[in-house]
Structure 1
Amino acid sequence: MDKDRVKGAATRAGGKMKQAAGDMTGDTKMQTEGKLDQAKGKAQNAMGSAKDALKK
């Protein structure tokens, strides 16, 4: 497993927590940041998957 996939999963999880905290407090900025972090994590994961595929 590529380190980008691990980082992506961590970033995505952090984004989900940030979005949930924003939902609970009504903080739209935090909600948006959480969604952006999730998208960033998804992109990192995809990059890691591509690297893994190239190694095979």
Structure 2
Amino acid sequence: MSAEDKIKAAAEKAVGKVKETVGNVTNDDKLVAEGKAEQAKGNVRDAAENVKDAFKK
């Protein structure tokens, strides 16, 4: 996994967590859902890169 991809995945997860938290505090279900979706997107990016790394070895 390249450093750039790791940073992108971590950023997506962090932004998602912030959105989810703000949504919970403000009772904004749409923002909570967006945050969870963004976190999932970051997790998928991580998983895809881990698969790539496994095949490189």
TM-score by length of 1: 0.86
Q: Note the alpha carbon deviations across 1:1-56, whole angstroms, 9 max, x for none.
A: 32433321211111011100101111111000000001111000000111111111
| RMSD value, Cα | 1.2
4+ long deviations beyond 4 Å: none
Q: Name which structure has the greater RCO, CA cutoff 8 Å, separation 6+.
A: 1
What are the residue-to-residue correspondences of 1:37-52 with 2, within 5 Å?
37-52=38-53
User: Structure 1 unaligned runs (5+)?
Assistant: none
User: Structure 2 unaligned runs (5+)?
Assistant: none
**Percent identity for Structure 1 against Structure 2:** 46
TM-score by length of 2: 0.85
One-letter code aligned to 2:34: E
What are the residue-to-residue correspondences of 1:12-23 with 2, within 5 Å?
12-23=13-24
Aligned residues: 56
Q: 1:32 corresponds to which residue?
A: 33
